[in-house]
Structure 1
Amino acid sequence: MCLWPPHRDLVRAKPGCRLVTQEEAAKADMVVVAVGADHYHRLPLGMLKHKVVIDVANFTAPPSPHQPSNAEMLQQMIPQAQVVKSFNVLSAYALENNVQQQAKQVPVASDWPEARRRVLELVKQMGYSPVDKGPLKFARDIEAIPLQLMPSWRKPMMVIGSLFVFHYLLLLFKTMFNNALYKGHIIYSLLFMVRQMCLGVAVWSGTYDPLVWEPPFVASLDVRVNSTTLVTQEIPIYSNRMSLRGELFLTFGM
């Protein structure tokens, strides 16, 4: 096996783990391939013939519609091997620390029924819930599970974020009101609440502009349509000047 020195030390430190060569690893009847599909060609594929090969690779990006799964590509490269797709839904932390979650489902797919049965039993022995997905063509669906994990969290995260903003604003309002109440400014607090409510109602009801700004000046304009027809049109001319009631409205309670 080829490992970087830090990884070698990590394997040696794990009880029950032993570093072996590729030739020694190939003597086992069940081998786990834990490399990406881009590195399949570097494996000693000739040594994996007639063995149960468990592929745990995942896609790093959504595949194209006609792209085969990693397990199917590996099966095509070593047709004499019994390729099984499984364990790709487990994190490295869970495998390294032997985290057992019986509710965690681990799907298994393979075109070899006996190899699939053995891996299903292995998943059960490791403390997980095995799920028989059938032939290897369903490995594509299994490899898509990790890519679907984060999008499924969007709605809960949006709900949590909305609740956080709501509670933050509620706490801010209560703090301002309590401070004013503590200082004896109960009238100020009530006026502030009324002002905020009036401002909100005005904005959402569409009466904000006519309430705050001066009404438009209406100018009459004669428009000649043709030599015999003269049409009078009224054109509103808006001003950027704030009305007195608008100034009182915006400063009320300040």
Structure 2
Amino acid sequence: MAAKKLGVIGTGDFGRAFTIRAQLANLEVVMGSRDPTHRHLECIDPNLSKTTVLDLMDCIADSDLIIVAIHPTNYKMLSRFKDKLKDKILVDVSNCSRVDISNAEFLFSETGARVVKAFNGLSAWALQSESFGGSKDVHICSDDIEAKLAVMQLTRDIGFTPVDRGNLSAAHAIESETGRLFPEWAGPTAFAWGLFFVYTMWTIARMFMREKIIWSEYPLTRLNPAVCTTSVSLLACCYLPGEFAAFFQLYHGNKHTRFPNWLDKWMKSRKQLGLWSFFFATFHVLISVCVLASWNLGHFYEIDYKMYTVNTNVTIPVPSEFRFFYIGEIMLLMGILSYITMAILAVSSIPSISTRLNWMEFTFLQSYLGYLCLSLVLAHILILGIRYWLRITEVFLLLRSFTFISCLLPILVLLLKLILLLPCLYIPLQRIRKGCEMKTPWQKVATGDENNVSLMAITPV
């Protein structure tokens, strides 16, 4: 960094934390305050005992790169030093407080300086704590390339990672991002819990249909099918949009045509849907362990009975031995393998893990391993439920079965995947994804004389 000294205007929590962080990086820092004689910073933090605190004019004069750590409402105060700030680099670290214009653009309009937006995603705690577990990315934007490069170097010097976001016009988006609560999770979360609510209502409806209402079993035992079906449906919804996208590309014969908005949003929500699927799968595993009671032992065990005579005329069977039979073992094996596979998919989506994977490794885990997980889940459900489906003759009774409902989406996803693996579709799809454009029979072909030249296609000189 080419500055003589790093200036920090503002002696609040952020200004003090930034100063300490910069000093630990062996940078020379001077702080600016409207009333420097009453700023006894060493009483607040002993690390600031040797820090020089000047008035605003001297701080600006003594620094080339200045961190503006004051509230945006006080930016007008800096307009008094407009002439001195003309060639200075001002770094706006504030977050969104106005609708019409970003704080960084407002600072530029008030000072005319070389304004850079940066560090607004960091808190004072993040600057002072080495054990800070959040992102170390610092989003930076500015219209002055040289000033932006200086701030990016400063970011590296104090131990963070700069991310170039372009011109200063991006400042409003950078400021707004810190005030939104999980913006990418709103839609997938509403869908996941909405689906769970629908399945939960269906479990209640089933109890009324069977005229056997035992509310004492509902908090866990009767809720478990809804939890399982939600998990399976969400997992299938992770892979269904990718197949729709493949058919969309085959239809248009290229990969450049933009997906419809609903499909584009669905594609971008797959990670969130997958993690919610893993959440409900974990919930299902815990419930299944807790409610493994006598009424469902028949799914897993063969039971040997011994006959005991009571009095002289009554003989009753008493269970004497429990042992797994092969169907129960296979069903549990499929369930365990599918859960372990789903756990691997969830872990590989963590940013610190996914950034260490190359594209081929990430694709293998999230695509091939994902379809394997879906197949294992389907096998787990089929082994459990297909024995009972064969006894049902009425369609409505079949739809009352949660094991049957759980299989519908996974079967659809795997069937579409098998169709896309047919050579007549797989080969063209791979060519399209490599950038080739293919003509399809249903696309309109322009007719006319090939020798005619369209005047609209000629660029005037």
Matched, 1:76 2:109: yes
CA contact (8 A) 1:8 1:19 kept: no
Distance 2:284 2:157 in 1: 46
Matched, 1:205 2:399: yes
In structure 2, what residue type is equivalent to 1:55? D
Match of 2:85 among 30, 36, 49: 49
Write 1 or 2 for the structure with the bigger share of helix.
2
TM-score, normalised with respect to structure 1: 0.56
In structure 2, what residue type is equivalent to 1:52? I
Matched, 1:31 2:149: no
Unaligned runs of 5+ in 1: 190-196, 208-254
Match of 2:137 among 105, 108, 118: 105
Tell me the C-alpha RMSD between the 2 structures: 4.4
Matched, 1:168 2:300: no
Query: Which residue matches 2:242?
Result: none
Match of 1:132 among 133, 155, 164: 164
TM-score, normalised with respect to structure 2: 0.34
Query: Which residue matches 2:221?
Result: none
Distance 1:36 1:186 in 2: 75
Q: Deviations over 1:98-157 (max 9, x none)?
A: 5699x8432221122221121111112223332333321121232233245622355376
In structure 2, what residue type is equivalent to 1:145? E
Which of these two proteins has the greater Rg computed from alpha carbons? 1
Q: Deviations over 1:65-115 (max 9, x none)?
A: xx2211001111111x111101112233221225699x8432221122221
Q: Deviations over 1:4-36 (max 9, x none)?
A: 999945753236862613334323221111233
Percent identical:
25
**The residue matched to 1:141 in structure 2 has which SS?**
helix
**The residue matched to 2:45 in structure 1 has which SS?**
helix
**The residue matched to 1:58 in structure 2 has which SS?**
coil
Query: Which residue matches 2:173?
Result: 141
Is the alpha carbon distance of 1:100 and 1:113 closer, same or farther for their aligned partners in structure 2, counting shifts above 3 Å?
A: farther
Q: Deviations over 1:164-208 (max 9, x none)?
A: 43233112213x459x99xx9859x9xxxxxxx99xx9877359x
Is the alpha carbon distance of 1:108 and 1:177 closer, same or farther for their aligned partners in structure 2, counting shifts above 3 Å?
A: same
Unaligned runs of 5+ in 2: 1-9, 14-37, 190-271, 306-317, 323-387, 390-394, 402-461
**The residue matched to 2:91 in structure 1 has which SS?**
strand
**The residue matched to 2:101 in structure 1 has which SS?**
coil
How many correspondences in the alignment? 189
Distance 2:132 2:158 in 1: 7
